[in-house]
A and B are shown apart, each in its own frame.
Chain A
Amino acid sequence: DGGITQSPKYLFRKEGQNVTLSCEQNLNHDAMYWYRQDPGQGLRLIYYSQIVNDFQKGDIAEGYSVSREKKESFPLTVTSAQKNPTAFYLCASSILRTGELFFGEGSRLTVL
């Protein structure tokens, strides 16, 4: 099946630890995105990448880092510098010319 796979689905982390969320797509999409979803806040863009080995900051990039070494993969690292990391993280991809985003099922990170 074609789609976007995020892992892990649930993750617990102690304060001060970095954690990496995985996102893989087999849709052959050029662009990939990371959003953060908080209750009542909608979706806010963390980072996006339109091509391999290139990525740009979104609206709330502080405390996060990404890489795009392969077209299929766009992992997100939540660093200890992120002040409020407990959230639901969504990965998405798109064909650039259509603009429509396809989403993964999300990863819920809880910092203890």
Chain B
Amino acid sequence: AQSVSQHNHHVILSEAASLELGCNYSYGGTVNLFWYVQYPGQHLQLLLKYFSGDPLVKGIKGFEAEFIKSKFSFNLRKPSVQWSDTAEYFCAARIGGSQGNLIFGKGTKLSVKP
């Protein structure tokens, strides 16, 4: 079955540390990839997305992600985290183009210590 895996359940960092959250998907065909963020008490919102083209995607709030097709990966990165980045992050994949369903990973909780 198609799936999205996020390797880390909970990541704890100090402010200014660099962040990389892993995401792998299990499908070899057309795939659209997303990272969503859920700040405490807020609704899920889109951080960035990849459909095609440049595999390095830049999103809001200084986040970026790199699509590596050979590794079926779409890792999220930020060079220097802030306390306000404390949130839960979800990787998602839409398999088979725009008609497919969005499959979510189980999420990674990020806690940033001030």
Contacts from A to B (Cβ < 8 Å): 33, 35, 40-45, 48, 50, 58, 90, 92, 96-106
Q: Within 8 Å of chain A (Cβ to Cβ): is B90?
A: yes
A32 to chain B, nearest CB (A): 12
Which listed residue, B43, B49, B98, touches A103 by the CB 8 Å rule? B43
Q: With contacts defined as CB atoms under 8 Å apart, how many contacts are there between chain A and chain B in the complex?
A: 54
* Nearest 4 Cβ contacts at the A-B interface: A42-B106, A43-B104, A103-B44, A105-B43
Interface contact A97-B43, CB-CB below 8 Å: no
Q: Which of chain B's residues has its CB closest to A106's CB?
A: B43
Could you tell me the distance between the alpha carbons of A24 and B27 in the complex, rounded to whole angstroms? 33
Contact A41 B43 (CB under 8 A): no
| Inter-subunit contact B44/A99 (CB<8 Å) | no
On whether the beta carbons of B34 and A41 are closer than 8 Å, the reply is no
8 A-B interface contacts by CB (under 8 A): A42-B105, A45-B103, A92-B44, A96-B99, A99-B102, A100-B34, A103-B44, A103-B45
How many B residues face the partner with a CB closer than 8 A? Answer: 25
B43 to chain A, nearest CB (A): 4
Q: A58 to B103, alpha carbons, bound, how many Å?
A: 10
Given the complex, which residues of B lie within 8 Å of A41, measured CB to CB? 106
Interface bits B28-49 vs A (CB < 8 Å: 1, else 0): 0000101010000011111001
A35 to chain B, nearest CB (A): 8
**Residues on the B chain within 8 Å of A96, using CB:** 98-99
Counting chain B CB atoms within 10 Å of each CB, which of A92, A98, A100, A103 scores highest? A100
Distance between Cα atoms of A98 and B36 in the complex (Å): 15
Least CB distance from A97 to B in Å reads 5
Residue of A nearest to B49 (CB): A100
In the complex, what residues of A have CB within 8 A of residue B36's CB? 101, 103
